[in-house]
Amino acid sequence: MEAETSTPLFTVGQEIATFLISCGTLSKAWEESLLANNSENFSVNEYEGVAYVAFPSFHKIEGFMVKESKYGEGNIQTDNKVFSGLLKGNDDHPALVHQGALKLFLHIMENTDFQAQMQIYTDSKQRKLKPIIFVGHSLGGAVATLATLWVLEKRLRLSSPFCITFGSPLVGDVGFVEAVGRENWAGNFFHVVSKHDIVPRMFLAPFESIAEPLITILPYWQGIMGNDSKTVPDSLIQDACRTLLNNVLQHTYTETYYGPDSLRELDGVTKRSPYRPFGTYMFCSSEGASCIDNSETVLKMIHLTMQSHEKPYDNIIHDCLSEHVGYGSVMKHVIEKSISGERVAKLDSESSYRMGMSLQLEAIGIGAQNDNAPIALQIARDMENKHNTNVAKLASELSGKQCSMAEVEWYKERCEKEDGITYYDSFRKHNDIDANLCRERLCGFWDNIIEMWKRNELPSDFQSQNKWINAGTAYRRLVEPLDIAYYYRMSKGTGNYLSDGRPTRYKVLQKWMEEKENTRGSRGRSGRTKFASLTQDSCFWAHAEEASKDLENLKQDHHQKLESLEMFEGYVTRLINDRNISSDVFLDGSSFMKWWKEWKKYKQNQIPGWSSPLYKIMESESWKG
Amino acid sequence: MGESVSVFSPSLLSDAWELSSSVYKSQYVNCSYVRSVIRSNLVVFAFRGSLIPNSATKYGEYQVKDGFLDGVKDGNNQRASVHQGALSQFEDIWSRSDFQKQVIEDHEKGNTIVFTGHSMGGGIAALATLRMLEKQRQPKSVFCITFGFPLIGDEILARGVRRKKWADQFCHVVLRRDVFSRILLAPSISVSKPLEVLLPYWNRSMQSRADSVGSTDIPMAEAPPGGIAEFVATVVQHCSAVSNYTSAAKMSPNNPLIAAVKPLVKLSPYRPFGYYLFCSSSGAILIENHYAVLPILYFSLQTLGANLEDFILQHVNYGYILPNSLQNIVKLSELSDLPLSDAGSVHQDSRITTQLDALGLGIQNCPARLALRAAGQVLKQQSENLSILEKEYPKKMETPMDKLEEYRLQCLRNDTGYFDAFKKKQRGNVDFQANLNRLELAGWWDEIIQNKFDKDELPDDFQCKKEWVTRGTHYRLLVEPLDIANYYRLGKNEDSGPYLTHGRPRRYKTLQKWLENYEEPLQSPSTKLIQDSCLWADVEELACSMQKNEYKDEKRIDLENRVRALTDSHGLCVEDLMTGESTFKTVVNWLWKQMTPVDQEASALRSIIYHPQQTPQI
């Protein structure tokens, strides 16, 4: 079947936003986060079969105050191992998280009955767990994000939790975004941001530039959230807000116009805010609401939506203060719009996508006059298109490559049945043109995938998709032995495949599989009773080659080799005991059997009556049964 | 405008309305239906119903039990759900022998039957129609016309109706602002209070109008109750939720957010089935594309510029508005390129433009236009995908199938069954080629089933198309034994578990289901294959037991049951099982030794053991 390009014809941002607001879930979540302000740490309520775990707004300066770093960021992994090493960027650096939010969350984990209460919702023995939504407003939203991540990352439930935040500040860095993308968790985070709410933009500015005004403003917000009294902000608060807005806008501007790539180059000159959005963002304005899920586009929109010129500055300051605590009325307004069907501008286009995009921008309060916004949306769309098209193309190529795989399999069987030797040893001795052609074809295919992956041309969760992990593992186990054989044939025994010769594709594929297996946990895999059809460690033959070399050296009195040879013996014993080895290695005359005979002879010469676990296995030929 | 309009002609629609409204007459207060012979061979039944408050489920839905709608289960054998109030009223009427007898008699006489009803009466009419469609004798002889019909069936029912090609037998007439026709999209509790006032009001209005038919004094219209703004807003809001959800899911089928939100939100389960005629005072639009119905139900109900009372009045004003709107029916078929701008509208039939405007779906309602385009795009894509498959099949699939057929025969000539030959793979290149053919076919069917069928990217009735059920079945019966052979040859049962529970590819499960749900007999293929593609899996499991020497009665009985079922249905191909030193032969011989004479006497394997020595038929 031919690969298709899967260009989306429609935008769905507005439909999703209207759906989520109309169905009542968001209003309920907002209600819960208001209620949570009556409790100190968190509250749990069930409504229509869904558990809402809500955190209060934490409108106290202590929560925001982090002095260790410029933007309050720090390593997500702490001594108590609440979060594991899984949360890291594609460069393996641990993710950075706002330490104020992290401290609040760790406090709740350690000093409250939060974990105990969560047990009812995470008991994996229960077949049908209630759906769970973590909810929070302001810094409470950041805490809700971490709570959700904790449940996801510990795989406490089969069905994923959901997270809804209102006016939450950004909480994690690019490593966070990459980890969430890799695990395909982005769909589980939903952030509601009102057009003029200052808080979601706040951490783009260094802490020192927001601390002072924040000290003045927080009590005001706290008052409103606490008892719902609508006090009018006095001039002191308004002035503080003006300072805050000025400082924040300055930084969102740099973030937006210098882009994430130039960020790294400029490092050291001015250190920029590390925070990046992840998940879906719903931007609300007086014109409606729409959703965006591409991290870079969201970052731009965070700036562009705020930087509107249609209102006098003083009004914006007022909105900054009121919208952060007014999500109830913001959403009510969007509902009213969708009920009445009121529309303003008339657009002139016959393209569904262009039209959808214009409507989207209008809904989030960015007029058509802004050029940057459509470009940002377009870039996000192009990227998604490219990812989808690439994967569709690779998937179709993959099924074509099945034939090459089958040919190698057949080569393997032919060697065993007709010549009585392993395909490894056969290929080691002399080139088989057909098998080599297949090897090269498959090598090209997988090298290309790895290259595309490195260039970010594949979806962020590509490396954790079962389909590709399984295909990659099958390829690695079947074909890497040929690459090893080729390497030792060409290098005439001088090189070491493991340290110098192993192609990147195998290293990467193995890493993907191992990471996936870590997340799968030890789901009661019963031991094998038969030998695996392919040796599970695709590097087995390289180890065997090195062992043969070591043994030769040992015989020439390089005694330091003894240790690595004993290690190899132990390694083979484990493989055999777990049946993780393929029975072809025991064929008479295989490289492994030759090594074994030599090794046995050597050991018995050294220690008469020598025995070892492997010796017992080999002597009894228990691998035959 | 095709067959549909010839059946649902304006005159039939008015007749149906007349009868539907006459049910409200005081004289019929104790009858729940009236029957009328409109012309020879055409009998109309009209029902009266009421919306019975029900709080057992959020939307009053109820999963139907055995005996009704048995043929419309989904892929997991889930039964359809319908509105319980409608169902219980229908069952009351249906269980009365006079009604059932009358309907069946009319039907058996060869009459065309039309069930009709206004309001909840339409719900009863729809259920009566579904009931009769299940036993419909002549094709297209039972029809349904409703007025102000509230959606009463879920997605499973709606899909079933489309799969069985019944959609063109339903015509739901809906006035633009008739709020009642959308009422079940809102949770029962959210509208129960205002309905306490509104339902009696609607009933009184219909009754006084029905009673005044033919009399000279026109009744004073009673003004609708006040305080309805919030009620209307509630209904529109829930319409919006359902419509936007389905639109988003169509526009972005793999959206992770939508998938994550789905279990959290309990939307109304009801989905439209059948054709819709959306009416305004200036005309009507006929919609056949079911994906377009929900968006129209929502967008045409939006309140901008509307008189609030209209939302209540229109439910009882069909009699006033229909005469005008039925004069001017247009059909909206091609939705995927519906104009979005003035420039685009130039090329559109001006009658359609007018009618869309009258329903509030003009170009200024851009979100509505986009939703309709998306609805059109889905159907367009589905039929394009199908024609690609039709074109590819002979090119790509027939050769490997032919080669595997030939492989099977070759094996028999060499005195082995193809299962054992493939498993032992002693003939090198020949087996290798067979394996390539197997892989090629697997890739192709996986693509069809996982990437097209499961994602709703093929027409709804794809799985009921005779040629595809035949192709799928032939493929499954011929090739699945090779998959099983491969599975056990590579010892995958050791890694994952038995083939049937842990290793059976979804393509086979799905294809088997297609056959099970297919009601007509299939053409028998040229070669006779074992008609149960999983037989070898049982055999292999027993072979494993044999190696470990663990005899278990249950496993033996499983195999016997399979064999018995096959023998009874003449679906056994003995030469595939018994030729040469087959696994089957070995296993059966081993079993035979373990069995007691009593077991042996009753065993389904007996006939095979004592089967005259097979010579391969070539």
What confidence tens digit (pLDDT) does each residue in B202-246 have? 999 999 989 888 776 666 678 888 889 999 999 999 999 999 999
Strands (E), B197-289: 275-280, 283-287
Q: Is B253 on the interface with A (CB under 8 A)?
A: no
B 356-395 residues with CB < 8 A to A:
360, 363-367, 369-371, 373-374, 377, 392
Please say whether the beta carbons of A110 and A116 come within 8 A: no
pLDDT tens for B250-306 read 888 888 999 999 999 999 999 999 999 999 999 999 999 999 999 999 999 999 989
Predicted confidence band of residue B575 (pLDDT cuts 50, 70, 90): confident
Of A450, A447, A424, the residue nearest A435 (C-alpha): A424
In three-state secondary structure terms, A163 is strand
**Per DSSP, what are the bridge partners of residue B146?**
B117, B172
- Interface with A, mutate which of B240, B335, B337, B445 (most A CBs under 10 A): B240
Q: How far apart are CA B92 and CA B53, in angstroms?
A: 17
Nearest beta carbon to residue A162 from set B264, B340, B435: B264
Three-state secondary structure call for residue B63: strand
User: Which range among A193-202, A415-424, B541-550 has the greatest average pLDDT?
Assistant: A193-202
Task: Among A189-198, A417-426, A548-557, B393-402, name the most confident range.
Answer: A189-198
| Partner B contacted by A404 (CB < 8 A) | no
Nearest residue, CB atoms, B491 vs list A24, A407, A533: A533
Confidence grade of residue A373 (pLDDT, cut at 50, 70, 90): confident
Q: Strand B61-63 relative to strand B81-83: parallel, antiparallel, unpaired? A: antiparallel
- Tell me whether residues A403 and B490 touch, CB distance under 8 A: no
| Angstrom distance (rounded) from CA A181 to CA A188 | 11
Q: Mapping DSSP to helix (H, G, I), strand (E, B) and coil, where does residue B16 land?
A: helix
What pLDDT is stored for residue A137 in this prediction? 96
Q: Within chain B, what is the greatest distance between any pair of CA atoms?
A: 96
Are A240 and A252 within 8 A, CB to CB?
no
Q: Which of A15, A159, A403, A418 to mutate to test the interface with B (most CBs of B within 10 A)?
A: A15
Which of B366, B431, B493 should we substitute to test contact with A (largest number of A Cβ atoms within 10 Å)?
A: B366
pLDDT of residue B475 exceeding 80: yes
Preferred mutation among B182, B190, B244 to probe A, highest tally of A CBs within 10 A: B244
Instruction: Give the pLDDT of residue B593.
Output: 87
- CA dihedral in degrees (A298, A302, A305, A308; nearest 10)? -140
> In chain B, which among 38-67 make CB contacts under 8 A with chain A?
58
Pick the more confident residue, A528 or B550.
B550
Contacts of A82 (CB under 8 A, 6+ apart): A105, A106, A109, A150
Find chain B residues with C-beta within 8 A of A406's C-beta.
432, 435-436, 439
Nearest to A453 by CA among A465, A442, A435: A465
What confidence score (pLDDT) does residue B96 get? 84
Backbone φ and ψ for A72, nearest 5 degrees, come out as 80, 10
Q: Tell me, what's the pLDDT at B618?
A: 35
Q: Taking CB atoms and an 8 Å cutoff, what residues of chain B touch A180?
A: none
Tell whether B600 is within 8 A of chain A (Cβ). Answer: no
Which residues of chain B from 265 to 284 reach within 8 Å of chain A, CB to CB? 265-267
State the burial class of residue A62 (Cβ atoms within 10 Å of its Cβ: 0-12, 13-18, 19+): exposed
In this structure, are residues A268 and A168 in contact, taking their beta carbons and an 8 Å threshold? no
Question: Is A12 or B615 the better-scoring residue by pLDDT?
Answer: A12
Q: Which residues of A touch B367 (CB under 8 A)?
A: 14-15, 359
As a whole number, mean pLDDT of residues A377-404 equals 87
B236 within 8 A of B298, measured Cβ to Cβ: yes
Task: List the 470-509 stretch of A: residues with Cβ below 8 A of B.
Answer: none
* Per-residue confidence band for B130, with pLDDT thresholds at 50, 70 and 90: very high
Best CA proximity match to B188, nearest among B335, B382, B55, B363:
B55
Count of helix runs (H) and strand runs (E) in chain A: 23, 9
B 466-525 → A contacts, CB under 8 A: 490-491, 494-495
Predicted pLDDT at A1 = 39
- Give the whole-angstrom CA distance, residue B456 versus residue B441: 21
Does A260 score more than 60 pLDDT? Answer: no
Average pLDDT, stretch A571-587? 91
- Estimate the crossing angle of helix B466-489 against helix B429-446, to 10 degrees: 130
Calpha distance B103→B128 (Å, rounded): 10
Mean residue pLDDT across chain A: 87
Q: Which of B245, B370, B432 sits opposite A19 (nearest CB)?
A: B245
Q: Read off the pLDDT of each residue in A372-397 and give the average, rounded to a whole number.
A: 86
Strands (E), A85-199: 96-98, 132-137, 162-166, 189-194
- The shortest CB-CB distance from B244 to any of A18, A184, A349 is to A18
- Token look-up 């050291």 returns A268
Contact B108, B137 (CB under 8 A): yes
CB contacts, 8 Å: A336 with chain B: 233
**Please, which residues bridge with residue B39 across strands?**
B42
Q: Nearest CA to CA, how far is B257 from chain A (Å)?
A: 4
Provide, as residue numbers in chain B, all residues whose Cβ is less than 8 Å from the Cβ of A131.
Answer: 263-264
Structure tokens at A22: 């109309």
Task: Give percent above pLDDT 70 in chain B.
Answer: 96
The three state secondary structure string of B283-334 is EEEEECCHHHHHHHHHHCCCCCCCCHHHHHHHHHCHHHHHHHHCCCEEEECC
Of B248, B299, B494, which has the smallest distance from its Cβ to A16's Cβ?
A: B248
Is the Cβ of A161 closer than 8 Å to some Cβ of chain B? no
Interface of A with B in 78-97 (CB under 8 A): none
A406 contacts B435? CB cut-off 8 A? yes
Q: How do A162-166 and A132-137 pair as beta strands? A: parallel
Measured distance CA(A625)–CA(A528) in Å, rounded: 13
On whether any CB of chain A is under 8 Å from the CB of B244, the answer is yes
A418, closest residue in chain B (CA to CA): B428
Higher pLDDT, A254 or B56: B56
Is there a contact between B291 and A328 (Cβ–Cβ < 8 Å)?
A: no
Q: A48 contacts in B (CB within 8 Å)?
A: 58, 266
Quick one: pLDDT band at residue A625, thresholds 50, 70, 90? Answer: low
Q: Where are the beta strands (DSSP E) in A286-351?
A: 288-292
Burial of A286 (0-12, 13-18, 19+ CB in 10 A): middle
For residue A381, what pLDDT band results from cuts at 50, 70 and 90?
confident
* A609 band by pLDDT with thresholds 50, 70 and 90: confident
Spell out where B8-97 has E strands.
Answer: 33-39, 42-47, 61-63, 81-83
Partnered with residue A53 across adjacent β-strands are: A44, A134
Distance from B363 to chain A by nearest Cα, in Å? 9
Closest Cα in chain B, distance from residue A289 (Å): 13
Residues of B in contact with A346 (CB under 8 A): 363-364
Q: Quick one: average pLDDT of A376-389?
A: 86
State percent of chain A over pLDDT 70.
Answer: 91
Looking at residue A275, its pLDDT comes to 93
DSSP A168-209: PPP-B-HHHHHHHHHTT-GGGEEEEEETT-SHHHHTTS-HHH
Question: Tokens at residue B371, please?
Answer: 């939703």
Tokens of B514: 């297609």
Using the Cβ of B229 and the Cβ atoms of chain A, whether some distance falls under 8 Å is answered with: no
Those residues with Cβ within 8 angstroms of residue A75's Cβ, 6 or more apart along the chain or in another chain: A94, A95, A96, A97
In angstroms, the CA A43 to CA A112 distance is 11
Distance separating alpha carbons of residues A50 and A121, to the nearest angstrom: 10
**Of A144, A120, A139, which Cα lies nearest the Cα of A130?**
A120
Residues 296-325 of B with CB under 8 A from A: 299, 302-304
pLDDT for residue A525 is more than 60: no
> In this complex, is the C-beta atom of B345 within 8 Å of any C-beta atom belonging to chain A?
no
Distance CA A283, CA A373 (A): 13
Distance CA B534, CA B555 (A): 14
Q: Write the burial class of residue A124 (CB in 10 Å: 0-12 exposed, 13-18 middle, 19+ buried).
A: exposed
| Cβ A242 vs Cβ A317: under 8 Å | yes
Output the CA torsion sign for A10, A16, A19, A21.
negative
* Per-residue confidence band for A377, with pLDDT thresholds at 50, 70 and 90: confident
CA atoms of A535 and A422, how far apart (whole Å):
12
Residue with the bigger pLDDT between B574 and B13: it is B13
pLDDT value of position B614: 46
Question: Smallest Cβ distance to B256: which of A49, A184, A350?
Answer: A184
Q: Is A240 on the interface with B (CB under 8 A)?
A: no
A255-A261-A265-A271 Cα dihedral, nearest 10 degrees:
30
Query: Nearest residue of A to residue B391 by CA position?
Result: A1
CB contact under 8 A, B248 and A19: yes
pLDDT in tens, A274-293: 999 999 999 999 889 999 98
- Which residue among A133, A342, A406 sits closest to B264, beta carbon to beta carbon? A133
Backbone angles phi, psi at B467, to 5 degrees: -65, -30
Cα atoms in the 13 Å half-sphere on the side-chain side of B490: 18
Task: Give the chain B residue nearest A26 (alpha carbons).
Answer: B265
pLDDT of residue A2: 39
- CB proximity B543 to A under 8 Å: no
Question: What's the mean pLDDT in B61-79?
Answer: 88
- Closest chain A residue to B436 measured between Cα atoms? A403
Most confident of A135-139, A487-491, B75-79, B510-514: A135-139
Assign B37 to helix, strand or coil. Answer: strand
**Pairwise CA distance, residues A244 & B10, whole Å:** 67
Which of A199-213, A356-370, A501-515, B124-138 shows the lowest per-residue confidence on average (mean pLDDT)? A356-370
Which chain B residues touch A291 with a CB distance below 8 Å? 257
* pLDDT for the residue A332: 94
CB atoms within 10 A of CB A407: 20
What span, in angstroms and rounded, lies between the C-alpha atoms of B520 and A249? 70
CA B566 – CA B554 distance, rounded (Å): 18
Q: What is the pLDDT of residue A345?
A: 59
Residue A285 touches partner B, C-beta closer than 8 Å: no
* Phi, psi at A403, each rounded to 5°: -70, -40
Across A218-227, A591-600, B123-132, B413-422, least confident range: A218-227
Tell whether A53 lies on the interface with B, counting CB pairs under 8 A: no
Residue A625 CA to residue A623 CA, distance in Å, equals 6
